[in-house]
Structure 1
């Protein structure tokens, strides 16, 4: 596979994001270009695309958030919380053809660094059941919280501090 490059995600990249999303999740967790595009509109500085050569192989969409749990799936965010004090990783997906190449960790590093530069106290995300071990390796721990519908069995809200930026 070609050399991995990361760059800020733009609106013109949404078709590639949808392609990676479908390859990564199958039919299970498809969100529309409208929903994902709204997150990009609200926080373009927190979204990146990974390429191997000319092929998009991963992406991450994140945005500022607070401690109110998790935003719903399949619904555009109307606005960001006024008292946002965390980065929220909405979605990080990697094409099956690029798994094991460090794409997810590289994309996460972009969001972690963005959250740190923004001065956030921590980060949150909802981990799907099969992704929990990955997020634990990156310093996240589960929070006791009910999730909005659609995240699936075994999904959990997770959080990590930004005090230890080495992990």
Structure 2
């Protein structure tokens, strides 16, 4: 199966919303208008994986941010003017594409983009019991957070949401 990774466009948002609905619990739902605003805020750091027929198989929304800043669920992206890292906000892989390594390919794309921007860290909020998956990808749970970050984690109601960081290094 031929799979292409490319930037998400506004024309892809209906398919992205459908995939989001199939992958996340109702308490993690984020409306199409918000996804559109996020895409507008960070168009160069939102990617999808599709097959040769143009069928959406996976996506990843990211944006440049600062360490320790947790994006509350349902909030627009606040792209940092002086970013310290790339924040991975939302990744989903369709049921039929699981096991194809698409999450890893999207993560590699994010690392490549971050490197091109001079960044050496990624951050995310792990939800739906995914901490162990992200740990296998090199992310570490951050136990000490600011009160604002802790409050933002609480917006992921019904979740054991955990803020995680990954540092990676590029050859000089």
Global fold match (TM > 0.5): yes
Verify: 1:55 aligned to 2:61, yes or no. Answer: no
2:8 corresponds to: 9
Tell me the CA shift for residue 83 of structure 1: 2.5
Residues 70-107 of structure 1, C-alpha deviations (whole Å, 9 max, x = no match) = 11111223x42223110000101011111111111111
**1:67: how far off?**
1.9
Q: Check if 1:90 corresponds to 2:89.
A: yes
Q: Which residue of 2 aligns with 1:30?
A: 29
Counterpart in the other structure of 2:168: 162
Counterparts in 2 of 1:1-167, with a 5 A limit? 2-52=1-51, 53-77=53-77, 79-144=78-143, 145=145, 146=150, 147-150=153-156, 152-163=158-169
**4+ residue runs over 3 A deviation:** none
Give, in whole Å, the separation in 1 of the partners of 2:100 and 2:59. Answer: 14
Unmatched tracts of structure 2, length 5 or more = none
SS at match of 2:76: coil
Number of aligned positions between the proteins: 163
How much does 1:164 deviate? Answer: 6.2
**TM-score, with normalisation over the residues of structure 2?**
0.87
Structure 1: give runs of 5+ residues left out of the alignment.
none
TM-score (norm 1): 0.89
Contact 1:40 1:47 in 2 (8 A): yes
Q: Is the 8 A contact 1:65 1:81 kept in 2?
A: yes
